[in-house]
Structure 1
């Protein structure tokens, strides 16, 4: 911290005034002592006896001049008092500088930091203030991000609801106005309205599921799950849908049974979303493979692999963001709300795991890393952060 000329003068005057006051105090004490000794011969005799009895060193030097000893002691005391007063004044100046910096930051200069390098507890105060400002800025940025996210949520939901709703109202309007030429047209219009209504219901259900898994304190109902049996059930449930898209869903057999503790309903939602996603976007592919392995005593890896088109590299880091869609349009036939992968990731994080995705010209693989028991914790090597079973990074 650099002192101004005024502050240096303030320190100098503080020292001068302190020295003057101490000199007056010392003079007063000396005068009082001399006056007391001159009026009390018995006290003088006592001091003389004491001086004769005090010897110093092997040669037995005696102390005869107590005035010199007193003056030396007073000099040390005075120097200590002057030093204490100057240090005290200097700390007051430091605090004044810190307060001025705080006022400057409070006036809206949030990018400013106190760059003093002080000593002792004052430096701790400076570091704490800088950390507090950083925390405030981080909170402000998070709040702005949340507001932006809310705006984006409203925009996307409005768009995704308005599109099918417009179709429903349009076709129902045609029916109400009897603007159809045959019963076949009537059935066609009602079928389209029905399909669009299902699309809206699917979006609402996804929004409800996403907000539910995002809430803090979401409780999981743990069950002991046979992973091989679960994969077989998934193959059976998606077999017809996959055949419609010329895809074959298969599950690899494990040499030994693999059991995990998880919420069966929510974990089923994860695989439903991932397999449905593979079917929807796996145009041109022929297979969807389900594979489960035990990585170690604490971690299981369950993979959903398809040989469809490669996911662009620039999309891999954003693929789990809500409402993000690789094809970049919200009106494609493939188009859902873009919440499926975000829901899947949130559910896996609730279990204390994470989802890793890789894609090349041969395969696209979604690997679900999940703890084998509810008490296990696993590490995401990409983030180097420990994810607890409640989905919070520690």
Structure 2
């Protein structure tokens, strides 16, 4: 920390005044000591005998006197006092600089940090202040991101709801204004309005599920689940749809008697979303594989398909809400863009992780989950 010219002058003045006061004090004490000894003959004779008995060298040179001893002692005390007062003033200046830096940061310069390095407790104060500012700025940035996230959510929901709602109003308006020629036209318009209403319902349900699983207070009902029967049941529930698209769903677990502690309903939602995505978007695929392997104290689930490769630029965005890979997700396939975001949130509620890998031969969604849930996660 660099001192200003004014602060250096303050330190010099502090030292000068302290030295003058100490000299006056020393002189006063020396006078009082001499007077005290002079008025006590016994003490004076004792000091004289001590003086005569302490000699140095073959010539019996006498170097001791109580005045010399007193002056030597007071010099040591005076040096300590001057050092103490100067250091106290210097630390006050350090605190003044710290306070000045804090005011500068508080004025809106949030990218600024206290730059100087000090010693001892003062440096810990500086480090604590910088850490506190970093924490506050991080919290502010996080709050901005949350607000922006809320705005984006409202914008996306409004957009996705407005499109089918416009169609519903348009087709029902044609019927209301009798702008149809035959009964078949009426049935066509109402059927289209029904499909759009179903699309809106799906979005609302997914949005409700997304907001529910994103909350840290979401209630989880954990139980022991047999993995292989669960995956086989999931495969069976999509068998009819898979047959229509000439896709085969296979199940494999290692070991076969594998069990996991999880929320069955929410974990089922994860696999439902992944299998549905594979059926909808795996263009040209003929196989969907559901695998589960035990790796120590965790299970690795793999939901893979041999369909069209996901573009590399899209891999890092797949789990963002409302994100769609435009080349494969058209209006014909539908989808709210919330399925993978919901899956990721549910996996995180199970203290797990989900990732995706995609190549020309295989696209795999990989989920790592612990075999047993930590006690704190069951509360």
With normalisation by structure 2, the TM-score equals 0.93
Note the alpha carbon deviations across 1:258-281, whole angstroms, 9 max, x for none: 111110000000000000011110
* Alignment pair present for 1:122 and 2:153: no
Instruction: Tell me the residue number matched to 1:321.
Output: 320
Note the alpha carbon deviations across 1:103-148, whole angstroms, 9 max, x for none: 1111111111211011111111111111122122212211221121
SS state of the match for residue 108, structure 2? coil
Instruction: Tell me the residue number matched to 1:375.
Output: 374
Contact 1:160 1:330 in 2 (8 A): no
Q: How many residues align?
A: 375
List gaps (5 residues or longer) in structure 2.
none
Instruction: Tell me the residue number matched to 2:142.
Output: 142
What's the CA shift for 1:299? 0.8
Instruction: Tell me the residue number matched to 2:208.
Output: 208
Structure 2: distance between partners of 1:75 and 1:112: 45
List gaps (5 residues or longer) in structure 1.
377-387
Instruction: Tell me the residue number matched to 2:346.
Output: 347
Structure 2: distance between partners of 1:265 and 1:163: 31
What's the CA shift for 1:246? 2.8
Instruction: Tell me the residue number matched to 1:311.
Output: 310
Instruction: Tell me the residue number matched to 2:355.
Output: 356
Structure 2: distance between partners of 1:55 and 1:307: 106
Structure 1: distance between partners of 2:363 and 2:190: 38
With normalisation by structure 1, the TM-score equals 0.89
What's the CA shift for 1:62? 8.7
SS state of the match for residue 261, structure 1? strand
Structure 2: distance between partners of 1:215 and 1:201: 22
Structure 1: distance between partners of 2:258 and 2:377: 20
Structure 2: distance between partners of 1:228 and 1:53: 104
Structure 1: distance between partners of 2:352 and 2:139: 27
Instruction: Tell me the residue number matched to 1:379.
Output: none
Instruction: Tell me the residue number matched to 1:228.
Output: 228
Q: Indicate the larger mover: 241-250 or 38-47.
A: 38-47
What's the CA shift for 1:179? 2.0
Structure 2: distance between partners of 1:6 and 1:328: 69
Structure 2: distance between partners of 1:85 and 1:19: 11
Structure 2: distance between partners of 1:148 and 1:35: 84
CA change 1:165–1:36 in 2 (3 A) is same
CA change 1:38–1:255 in 2 (3 A) is closer
Structure 2: distance between partners of 1:308 and 1:207: 28
What's the CA shift for 1:44? 2.5
Q: Indicate the larger mover: 27-36 or 358-367.
A: 27-36
SS state of the match for residue 119, structure 2? coil
SS state of the match for residue 238, structure 2? helix
Contact 1:349 1:389 in 2 (8 A): no
Q: Indicate the larger mover: 338-347 or 117-126.
A: 117-126
CA change 1:329–1:141 in 2 (3 A) is farther
Instruction: Tell me the residue number matched to 2:173.
Output: 173
